[in-house]
Amino acid sequence: MALIEENKSLKTYNTFNIDASATYFAEVKQADDVIALLHHPVYQKHQTLIIGGGSNILLTQNFDGLVIHNQIKGIEVIHESIENVWVEFGAGEIWHNCVLHCIKNNWAGIENLSLIPGYVGAAPMQNIGAYGVELKDVFEALHAINVQTGETVLFKNKDCHFGYRESIFKNTLKNQFLITKVVLRLNKSPQFNISYGAIEKTLETQGVKALTIKAISDAVIQIRQSKLPNPKMVGNAGSFFKNPVVDSLLAASIKRDYPNMPFYPNNHKTKIPAGWLIDQCGWKGKVVGETGTYKNQALVLVNHGKATGREIFALSEKIQQSVKERFGISLQREVNVV
């Protein structure tokens, strides 16, 4: 049975380093811990918040309820074929550590997703993606516990309704399941994807001649480290907003006024980098009290030390307003606001 703590500080459990607290707090390390917790009076009488690495949440207040910290571990090969290997990961494993484990074993498919913060359990919830790859491309299935009934349910790829930074767990089934295990179908023969972003140029700069999944991972890590602050040094949750996908006519109109606008075709529409839009509005590197945007990437909102969640949220609203006024585009938050 998981130990339930009271009045627990959450500062070290969220990468924004917001000094908020939870009335109750429990860590679960196996599925049985979750089942037992569902029958506990504290769970039954209070609202709950499930967290992993805390890399995608903004705490705007103390949480008057039970915070459940998912620490379910484990990495296991459950099936192999000539071309693929199916690997099951505990939802409480650190995502980047799992990427490195796969690279070490020459299992391809998630090397472009290197250095994305957070735990494995959040990966399908967000349908994490970077540099031309999304989790749904390698996702096979996940196991999750219905937090109302205690039933364990298997979700296949199609069941998750994956979209751009979206899944069924962020809308229809929000707060209804705790993910325990995630199964990915990885490739024994790599299919390299270096066309997106600055990967190809970075590989050239690094002098890479023989392309490998490790070389791609190293390039992605270098790019991300050059753009994004280390949460241990500067509180942040990575990309705060989604890159908007807009009507191509609107994108063409903007590009006439801004010929250097970066863009990516997306299913008969156009994806525009949110960081570019925010930068054009003069926000890049701007400091507002104890918060602001990162000097190297306007898409990243930061805590310079003692910012509250409400101050960061207020800044995000101002950024949304300025982008809407200038470009007619409504930015959507990628970060979950609590």
User: Which residues form the catalytic set?
Assistant: 165, 239, 334
Transcribe 24-82 into DSSP letters.
EEEEE-SHHHHHHHHTSHHHHHS-EEEESS-TTEE--S-EEEEEEEE----EEEEEE-S
Transcribe 200-246 into DSSP letters.
HHHHHHTT--S--HHHHHHHHHHHHHHHS--TTTSEEEEE-BPPPEE
What is the rounded distance in angstroms from the CA atom of residue 117 to the CA atom of residue 215? 20
Contact of 202 with 222, CB cutoff 8 Å: yes
Is residue 318 within a helix (H) or strand (E), and if so which, with residue range?
A: helix 309-327
Using CB atoms within 10 Å of the CB of residue 12, give its burial: 0 to 12 exposed, 13 to 18 middle, 19+ buried. exposed
